[in-house]
Every structure is written in C-alpha cells, then in structure tokens.
Amino acid sequence: MKKSSNSKVPIIIAHRGAQYIYPEHTIKGYKKAIEIGADYIEPDLVLTKDGVFVARHEPFISGTTNVKDIPEFAHLKTTKVLDGIEVTDWFVSDFTLKELKILKAKQSWDNRSKAYDDKFEIPTFEEIIALAKNFKTAKGDPVGIYPELKHPTFHKDIGLPMEDVFLEQLEEAHFNNKEAAIYVQCFEVGSLQYIHSKSTVKLIQLLGASGINKNGSLRFTKEDGSYDPEGQPYDFVVKGDNRTYEFFATEEGMKFMEAYATGVGPWKPFIVPITNNDNIPREILHPTDFINLAHKYHLEVHPYTFRNEDTKWTTNEETASEYQLFFEAGVDGLFSDYTNEAVKARDAFINKD
C-alpha cells in the first residue's frame, strides 16, 4: 500500500458536510458525509445572542438561510464591521437560539440542487457532537469533528468571546485532549494560542491569501496594495502586527506555529502553485517546499478546499487528478465539498502498487 510521505493515510474532511447534495451545515449533510466515508465532519462555529455555538459559515446568514423570507426578522437586518469591512446583513449574534431555530438552511451554490432548501434547521455544536458520537466512520472508527472558530475578534468586540465557552463545551464532551478525534481550526492566531495554553486539543492554523499573481506567486493584499482580510490574521491587524499569511509559509513561520499548533490548513496554492495569466491556460507548477517545511516542524498539512467547480488544478476530465497531485505532494488530509470524490481518490492513491 502506498501512503503519503509521512506514512500516514490522509484523512478526508467533509467541508461543511455533504454540501454538494444538501445545504451546508445541516445534520442531514453531516450524516450523509459520514455514510459516504468522511473521517471528519467540519462545522464552522459562530455564537448566538445568548452565547450558543451554532454552525454557519459566516456570522451573517442571508446567503445560507431563508431569513429574508421571515417578516418577523426584517428589523434585525443591520450593518456591522467584520474584520475591518462593513457588512449589511442579518447576523447570528442578533438572534437567540430559539429565534434562530425558526430559520431553515438553503443551498448557497447556484449550480447545486435547491431540492433541500427550507427543510433543515441550523444545528448547534452540541447537536453535531452528539451526531458524531452516535455514529462510526465507514472504517468503523470514531467520527471526528473539525470545528472552525469563525472571526473570534469580531465576536469578542460585540461581547461574545468564544474561547472559554468553546473549551467548556469540549470538556463536557470529553474532547478536550490530544487523543480525541477532533481538530480545532482558526485563521486568527491568538485564539489558537489561548486554547493551547489551556488544553492539549489538536489545533490547526489556517492560512489564506488575497489572490494569485500571473507567475503563480501568492498575493497577500489587494492588487492596489491595500489591506485585505483574506491575506492577514485579523487579530494581527488589531495589534499592529504587519505579518501576513506569507510569513507562516517560511521556515521562521513554521517554527512559530510549532509552538502552539498541531498542523496547518493552507489554501491549495501554498502547496501546488498555478499561474494566473488570462491570456494563456493556467499552468500547474511544481509543488513548493511547504509540506517538507511543515513536516520538519512536526506540523500536519490539511489544505482547502477541493470542489468539482474549481477546475484550476484538474489535469484531465477526471476530478481525481487534482486529488492525486496533492496526495503525491504528501498532504496529511484535505477538505472537500465532494466527500465521495475525495474518498474515492484517496482509496485509489493508497492502493497504488
């Protein structure tokens, strides 16, 4: 059996559940992802007005729920500053859990089925933990959970600090240790460092970028050089720390992460770069030294996000070819919208002669 370079079978993380079938972040979608072979299910976590963790990709929810269609909540549409950017929408933090449970999830992708819109409620983190504990993976292992703390600085600024509430919930669930089937991820650094100081739970530093230059290098500001929240941890911005996510891809950055993190979750082009020239087809470039550096500092590498709609890394008509590029590069796991495709590609990779 062939495995990745560090002799571990890569894990498959169901990104927001089986969202190619069902709306993202629903119990039905998580359960389906487990059934088709996910090792971990991934809930993004935000807090309600009464301090309950629920699964939504962002603190604002018009794109993933039917909130626009509920007249009694029309007055809750508001403008807030999220990571330095004004956003006008409905925010989870203005709803109690009871109010939020009135809403129903909807598909956020135009090209994916709307057949299950308005059928499923928004799950709490407690409900997701219960689901994971009640099922086994297709291989008979405990179902792992891979929660992301979304925008901790935003929540702190509106009086809803996340970290201690989260740690209490992990403790209640007996997930608050490094042996538990859980990874905790965040784009902000301070939250992970704080959790590390209180717990041995596995932590993943997420890395983003603002875009890709023509030659395949990554950009960490907007094209005009101005601040872009995609390219820098927002807690760094608040503290006046000028380091962008580019820093974390260096040897110094890897050493920095080793002090608090179990691994790193980079956007895919940190590992396999691609050119971005509109005049010619994109070219897939040779993998960077990102994985070798991460492994040197004992960090697992779980890139995001694999989805059929994103064909920039597809080397032929088979979606499996993109997965193979990253498995061959040595990733320890990956996030996919299409759990079925990811599991099939992973199984083909590890069973190569």
Cα distance between residue 236 and residue 256, in whole Å: 14
Six token digits for residue 283: 């070219």
Per-residue model confidence (pLDDT) at position 7: 58
Q: Please name the residue that has the structure tokens 């209640």.
A: 172
pLDDT tens per residue across all 353 residues of the chain: 344 444 589 999 999 999 999 999 999 999 999 999 999 999 999 999 999 999 999 999 999 999 999 999 999 999 999 999 999 999 999 999 999 999 999 999 998 999 999 999 999 999 999 999 999 998 899 999 999 999 999 999 999 999 999 999 999 999 999 999 999 999 999 999 999 999 999 999 999 999 999 999 999 999 999 999 999 999 999 999 999 999 999 999 999 999 999 999 999 999 999 999 876 778 999 999 999 999 999 999 999 999 999 888 887 666 679 999 999 999 999 999 999 999 999 999 999 85
The secondary structure of 201-215 as a DSSP string is: -EEEEEE--SEE-TT
Instruction: Give me the torsion for CA of 329, 109, 83, 30, rounded to 10°.
Output: -70
Tokens of residue 75, six digits: 């007055």
Q: Distance (Å, rounded) from C-alpha 277 to C-alpha 10? A: 32
Task: Give me 95's structure tokens.
Answer: 């709803």
Walk me through the domains of the chain, giving residue ranges and CATH numbers: 11-350 (3.20.20.190)
C-alpha span between 258 and 346 (Å, rounded): 27
- Quickly count helices (H) and strands (E) in the chain: 11, 15
Residue-wise DSSP of 300-351: EE--B-B-TT--TT-SSS-THHHHHHHHHHT-SEEEES-HHHHHHHHHHHHT
> How many whole angstroms separate alpha carbon 331 and alpha carbon 342?
13
State the Cα–Cα distance between residues 99 and 119, nearest whole angstrom: 16
pLDDT at 317: 62
Q: How far apart are alpha carbons 207 and 211 in whole angstroms?
A: 12
**Rounded-to-integer distance, Cα 136 and Cα 279, Å:** 48
Q: Which residues pair with 264 in a beta bridge?
A: 205, 301
From CA 119, how far away is CA 135, in angstroms rounded? 22
- d(CA 336, CA 268) in angstroms, rounded, equals 12
Neighbour-count burial for 166-201, b at 16+ CB within 10 Å, e otherwise: bbebbeebebbeeebbbbbbbbbbbbbbbbbeebeb
Entry pTM: 0.95
Which of the 8 DSSP states describes residue 67?
G
By annotation, the residues acting in catalysis are 15, 57
